[in-house]
Amino acid sequence: MNVFVTVGTTLFDELVAAVDSLAVYEALLAKGFTSIIFQIGRGTYEPKHAPPALAMSFYRYNTEYKRDIAATSLVISHAGAGTIMDVLNQHKHLIVVPNTKLMDNHQTELATALAERKHLLETTIQALPALVKAMDWTDIVPYPAIDEQAFPRLVDAVMEG
């Protein structure tokens, strides 16, 4: 099983460093994970503490990051709306860690709303190791499929008036 960690295009070294810890790695190994890929964006922190039993790699950016999502069992992510939707639309397990240093803290609002609806797990940097150790997906509700015809139907209804 694979883990994908993503910070998007912003700087979120705290998330990368939190995952790159013995406590998180031990919890992942105990759950049967065998590899982890980090997307570190503009960050300066490069993961380096993975034990030999956990294959680890990282990169800064990749326009094909959706392939990494598709190839994984678990995504640990910042709370950017685009990333959240990409993961939920692929029906992957998602742990979201909002970057509270961002202006207006909009990431927390989105993550909390989706966690309350049981589409994902939300945590903080400090609580991440404990959540990974105890993560339980039995109550997770799959995110509803996108209705790509909703807007065209609305336009048709308005035009027919």
- Per-residue pLDDT tens digits for 57-72: 999 998 888 999 999 9
Nearest to 80 by CA among 50, 123, 54, 111: 111
Place of tokens 């803290």: 105
| pLDDT tens per residue, range 128-156 | 999 999 999 999 999 888 767 767 777 77
Total-model pTM: 0.89
100-109 contacts at long range (C-beta below 8 A, 24 or more positions apart): 100/124, 102/10, 107/78, 107/79, 107/80, 108/79
CATH superfamily of 2-160: Glycogen Phosphorylase B; (3.40.50.2000)
Q: Where are the domains of the chain?
A: 2-160
Helix, strand or coil for residue 77? strand
